[in-house]
Amino acid sequence: MTPVAKRAGEEIDFEAAARECRPFLLQIAVASTRNPSDAEDVVQEALLRGYRGMKGFRGDCPLRIWLSRIVVRVAINHHRSVARRLKRWVFFGDMEFPSDDGTIHEYDPPDPLREFDRERMLDVRKHVKRLPDEFRLPLMMLAVDGMTVPEIAAVLEIPEGTVKSRIFYARKRLNATLRTKKRR
Amino acid sequence: MNVDCHWIEENLERLAFEDDRLAQGHLAVCAHCREQIESLRAIDPMVKQVFEYDLAIARSPKRRRSPVLIGAFGTAIAAALLLIVAQVRQPASTPGTPAPPAMTSKIPAPEPATSPKIQNPGAVTGRAKPEATVPDRPSSVPREARQADRQAPEFLVTDLAGYSRTLNDYRGYVLIFGVWDSKDPQTAANLERVYKSVSANTKIRVLGISEDREVKPANTTFPSAVNQGSQLLGGKAGDIVVVDANGTIAFRGSLRDESSRLLRSVQSALTALGIQK
């Protein structure tokens, strides 16, 4: 993926850029939002806001990082919105529904030989979702394809050292939670 | 540099100590530190799994609106069913052709209560009942409706002593009351004859009612009462009405008739009620 950077006097084809960035932005959205079924909506909303706010893009960072910042903000607001939460309660937005061919799309491990403990994974997922946003976001973003600590720092607009310490804190906390549970 | 558990704890953030031989040496001997580092290293792959799981959910086709649609359809169907049930049950509970609210053809419908006396609560004594609501009463069964229509509306009169009388006071007795007309002495005379003919029977009560407080004509002995603005079961001046023990109108005639014919018809009405002379 080539970063789309704005150069002096260069017009950006936003549609093409958005199409190119979309898979990456979806990953950022999945890492940022607590409800993955909202990720598509979050990306859509972020792209709309990005398109409207293109004038504010100074070109000092790759466009995908700039858009990622919007995605993170939208994702956090999306979750906080009381209306969304109510809607989720009422319409069971958290549920997974079978697709048209009747199969339920679940996470399918890429390597069937790899040991995959689904229950353990869901347990970890539950605890990851419980982490505060500032620790959860860097930890999840590290799992995004090709994301590095400097990039996370750029997206979250915090120093690299802070990203590292937050990731460490998140790991430690998660480890402690899982170990306590194991001991029980 | 002294590498011990404390040092490892402080530098745990590094996770990788491959290039640090001192740390490697400590980890080789300290099981606690080794376990701690391994468990921390295991976090990232687990988070990656979580991320991939979430990504699969995000990429899977969403049909989040379907519950809304299902709910809407369900509500619509339930509403339709309720309507159908209501439609089906309505004709069952009420007659197809509602009974006419008026009395049967034999008995003219009473006039609506328009008298200010009866509407004034002060004029009504404790024993008095409100004006008849029979014609307005909703009927669910035709037979009952007819019965209700025939049910004599309450009437309210005061006797000469000033006590008010309603139809309830005559329950258990056959009540014959005539509304005599002061302008037509024939009516009072006829009523007197009727009274004479039935006065021996203790099952029968006779009342001569005047619309106004008028002096009873001479040579009459029937008990007298004054109407208190009630409908008198639809009886007007010159009418004679026979009400059976249940308060149902059994006969309605005119006091202006020829006396022997009136007596005959009253007698036949009483016979029909099972009362012998």
One-letter amino acid of B185: P
**Phi and psi at residue A30, to the nearest 5°:** -60, -40
Residue A22 lies in a domain: yes
Does A88 lie in the same domain as A32?
yes
Residue A5 lies in a domain: no
Residue A6 lies in a domain: no
Does A178 lie in the same domain as A140?
yes
Closest CA relative to residue B195, chosen from B216, B218, B220:
B220
Domain ranges of chain B: 5-59, 116-272
Residue A112 lies in a domain: no
Buried b (16+ CB within 10 A) or exposed e, A40-51: bbbbebbbeebe
Question: With contacts defined as CB-CB under 8 Å, which chain B residues touch A110?
Answer: 52
Residues 6+ apart with CB under 8 A from B159: B165, B223, B224, B225, B226
- Position B63 scores a pLDDT of 58
Mutation test of the interface with chain A: which of B49, B52, B65, B75, choosing the one with the most A Cβ atoms within 10 A?
B49
Cα B230 to Cα B132: distance, rounded to the nearest angstrom:
9
B116-272 sits in which CATH class? alpha beta
Minimum CA–CA partner of A37 in chain B? B58
Residue A150 lies in a domain: yes
Residue A148 lies in a domain: yes
Residue B191 pLDDT more than 80?
yes
Q: Which two tokens stand for residue A77?
A: 């607001």
ipTM of the complex: 0.76
Domain range enclosing A127: 118-184
Structurally, how many domains does chain A consist of?
Answer: 2
> pLDDT of B227-260, one tens digit each?
877 778 877 788 888 888 888 888 888 888 888 8
pLDDT tier, A116 (very low <50, low <70, confident <90, very high otherwise): low
Residue A106 lies in a domain: no
CATH number at residue A148: 1.10.10.10
User: Which residue do the tokens 């009483």 mark?
Assistant: B270
> pLDDT of A23-67, one tens digit each?
889 999 988 888 888 888 889 889 998 888 888 887 778 888 888
Contact of A96 with chain B, judged by CB distance below 8 Å, is answered with yes
Segment B166-194 mean pLDDT: 85
Does A139 lie in the same domain as A89?
no
CATH number at residue A31: 1.10.1740.10
Mutation test of the interface with chain B: which of A40, A175, A182, choosing the one with the most B Cβ atoms within 10 A?
A175
